[in-house]
Amino acid sequence: MKKTISSLLALGFLFSATAQEKIEQYYGSEQEYENYVKFKKDQRKFNSWSVSLHGGSSMMAKGELTSLGLFGGEDFNIGYDVQLGLTKHINHAFGIQLLGQLGQTTQSVLLGGTKYATQSDYQAVSLIGDINLSSIFRRVDNKSRYAWALHGYGGVGIIGYETKADGNTNAAITDGTTLADVDMDFESMFAQVGWGLQYKLNQSFDLEFKSMYVMTGDEEYDGSTGLGLTGPGSTGGDNDGSDNFWTNSLGIIYKIGKHNEHEKWYDPFQALYSQQVLDKGGFECIDEDNDGVCDEWDCELGTLAGARVDGCGKALDVDLDGFIDLEDKCVTVPGVENGTLGRGCPIEKEEVKPVDPVVITTDVINLSDVEFYYNEARWYPEYNNLLKKAARAIKANPDANFKLEGHTDARGSDAYNQKLSQRRADAIRKYLISQGADASRISAIGKGESEILNHCVNGVKCSNDEHRVNRRVLLRADRKLVMPN
């Protein structure tokens, strides 16, 4: 076992050296590529560190004595296992974990009417590779919420243990007698492999069920050596030189960092796939107003024939006076608003004297401009100022109570949209509270697609801009609010 681990470590060093050689072949020498722009900490968009705590059971699976009642074992013995881990994710698919664990296994065998039973207390530290299998194999056209992930684990470490007799019916061996005592050092290396199923609770926490197979690399772990039960056929059990056990545990993972998403839950392949579809034209482009922008992305359906448009399909208005360039008599000179006699050209106006700031009263603060990530309850950071303004309004009206209403468009199922709107309303409520708003005066409710504002229901084809009207969040007050203009 130890020779195998040493071989794996040697193979790792060889791989590292080969990788360095390949890098130099691609970029040139270190001096030649040191001028490349480095990826800096402030450019990161995702969290990459996490800590985890797991607790569960341990069972001796392979040895002269077992916990499973095999090979004449009398009992089904279950021990315990506790794990504390620190994980650094290199990218969305791979991470490295420093794992500390302690626990206990109990095992036995029945030979000729005599029961031999032992108890092993162990402590271990290991370095574990973490492969996010779901991220690697997830279909790029899968648009469902990414909340479940299967991980594969494997690594090596050092283990120490003490095994004592416990529950023997052999009078020659007293319970409590130490049968094996191994210090935790590099002379006691071991390996473990396994898998874990993670569920994303929210931005900060995940749950995980994990199952690991621990290969101690020692034959004396189960105490068989001290009991004199080694050698072929001594118990009918497995005595090929390594006593191994299973651990099964349930744990919670805390994702460290200030960003809205953790690297392991980001799916870059969907972004690449979307771009590939655009590049290859893998869809039918319908352009009813013939402005060169597909209706799927056209923000202004029904553009006048001959009008120049921007990338969103809106008719251009270079001087921003309200007249599109097609109808503007003064294309580059701001005129008066659309519908007046100026036809886009300046006209003389009476001087308007400045007035003092007024007080606006309202009972609804419209947060519909807040744009959320697709299928997520998090918004783009540039909308934080709008939410901070809403928080100031709440604090400026201490006698008012507020209710957040989350709405979605009609795409997707009713049940899913209901849950999504609730999560979005809850997320904004949490942010407003973080900005100093009184939590006791703010409630949140999701209304899903129950209050669509336009005709975009029952499968009616609409542009993204028309659907966006329905994706909104409103902050309602139980009385008129007073806010400085």
pLDDT band at 72 (very low <50, low <70, confident <90, very high): very low
Please state the pTM of the whole predicted model.
0.52
State the CB neighbour count (10 A cutoff) for residue 443.
Answer: 14
Q: Please state, in angstroms and rounded to a whole number, the distance separating the CA atoms of residues 414 and 435.
A: 32
Determine contact, residues 368/437, Cβ cutoff 8 Å.
no
Mean pLDDT computed over 109-138: 90
Question: Which of the given ranges, 56-70, 125-139, 370-384, has the highest pLDDT on average?
Answer: 125-139
Q: Is the pLDDT of residue 170 over 70?
A: no
The Cα–Cα gap between 128 and 108 comes to: 30
The amino acid sitting at 399 is D
Domains of the chain plus CATH, in order, are 41-270 (2.40.160.20), 359-484 (3.30.1330.60)
pLDDT of residue 358: 42
Contacts of 127 (CB under 8 A, 6+ apart): 96, 97, 98, 99, 155, 156, 157
Is the per-residue pLDDT at 44 higher than 60?
yes
Most confident of 60-69, 312-321, 376-385: 60-69
Of how many residues is the chain composed? 485
| Predicted local confidence at residue 94, as pLDDT | 95
Query: 363 pLDDT band (50/70/90 cuts)?
Result: low
pLDDT tens for 5-28 read: 565 555 555 555 554 555 455 444
pLDDT per position as a tens digit, 293-343? 787 677 777 777 777 777 777 777 777 766 777 777 776 677 654 444 456
Between residues 411 and 51, the one the model is more confident about = 51
